[in-house]
Amino acid sequence: MRKKIVAGNWKMNKNLQEGIALATELTEVVKNPNCDVIICTPFIHLASVAGIVKGSAIELGAENCADKASGAYTGEVSAEMVKSTGAAYVILGHSERREYYHETPEILKEKVQLALANGLKVIFCIGESLEEREAGKQNEVVKAELEGSVFNLSAEDFGKIILAYEPIWAIGTGKTATSDQAEEIHAYIRSIVAEKYGQEVADNTSILYGGSCKASNAPELFGKPDIDGGLIGGASLQVADFKGIIDAWN
């Protein structure tokens, strides 16, 4: 059966020393969690944090990787480089990358393929804007995002994808989707994965919720049958907050 997961997305927060301190503290307090715990850090933290989390209950991921394998792409970081740090995961398709860095479905498709080819597991984000939700288009939007970047994969490769539903209107706004709103669309997402890959693959796909998830609302969200955990932004930056969300699985 699918895994329960709490993943942190540090975004562009914490300098190297602060990141090392946060990762160190997390390894000290997160022991025998009832879910997989992943922290996704800025690129420059990866190699240092990999050494810190090694042998602990915490796994490591990046927040992005390049859409090219290698070569003259100044400033880019390849999937192979991410993997070589010891990281096992990469977040792709985050709405902040789609919006601010103009990452299209085609670019994301390349990134997903390179990540998988280099042995990384992908946390693939999908989710609608406020305008799209108000127009009742959320199902259409998430379906198109899946079709545009990951539904080309073989069933075997799709098995290495974790999905994260993150309604854009709930990210960093303090406005969480209600657990019923989240469950409704998570169930829909699972149904279209089942249509594409069959029920067994769908049942094995972890679908995380992201968007103002906190220790106070995590138990209710995680209590829903199709919500398999969370992708956490702001609340992953403080040990007590992140630990509180992990403990929602207890």
Q: Catalytic residue positions?
A: 94, 166
Q: Given CA atoms 189, 190, 195, 201 in this order, what sign does their dihedral have?
A: positive
205 contacts ligand 13P (rule: CB under 6 A) = no
Considering only residues 132 to 191 of the shown chain, the ones binding ligand 13P according to CB under 6 A are: 166, 171-172
Q: Given CA atoms 209, 212, 215, 220 in this order, what sign does their dihedral have?
A: negative
233 contacts ligand 13P (rule: CB under 6 A) = yes
Looking at the DSSP assignment, which residues form a beta bridge with residue 165?
126, 209
Dist CA 196 CA 207 (whole Å): 16
Q: Min. distance of Cβ 106 from ligand 13P in angstroms?
A: 22
Residue 46 Cα to chain centre, angstroms: 16
**The one among 4, 5, 9, 58 contacting ligand 13P by CB under 6 A:** 9
Measured CA to CA in angstroms, residue 47 lies from 63, 84, 103, 248 at distances of: 14, 8, 26, 29
Closer residue to ligand 13P in complex, CB, 97/197: 97
Nearest to ligand 13P by Cβ — which residue?
233
**The one among 115, 213, 227, 246 contacting ligand 13P by CB under 6 A:** 213
**The one among 19, 42, 93, 211 contacting ligand 13P by CB under 6 A:** 211
Closer residue to ligand 13P in complex, CB, 197/233: 233
Closer residue to ligand 13P in complex, CB, 114/123: 123
208 contacts ligand 13P (rule: CB under 6 A) = no
42 contacts ligand 13P (rule: CB under 6 A) = no
Q: Min. distance of Cβ 189 from ligand 13P in angstroms?
A: 16
Pairing mode, if any, of strands 36-41 and 5-9? parallel
- Are the C-beta atoms of 149 and 185 separated by less than 8 Å? no
Residue 166 Cα to chain centre, angstroms: 9
One-letter-per-residue 3-state SS of 40-70: EECHHHHHHHHHHHCCCCEEEEECCCCCCCC
234 contacts ligand 13P (rule: CB under 6 A) = yes
**The one among 185, 231, 245, 246 contacting ligand 13P by CB under 6 A:** 231
Dist CA 73 CA 71 (whole Å): 6
Size of the site for ligand 13P (CB under 6 A): 14
Q: Which residues contact 99 (CB under 8 A, 6 or more apart)?
A: 168
Q: Min. distance of Cβ 215 from ligand 13P in angstroms?
A: 12
Q: Min. distance of Cβ 176 from ligand 13P in angstroms?
A: 8
Q: Min. distance of Cβ 125 from ligand 13P in angstroms?
A: 7
Dist CA 223 CA 32 (whole Å): 20
Rule CB under 6 A: which residues touch ligand 13P?
9, 94, 166, 171-172, 210-213, 231-235
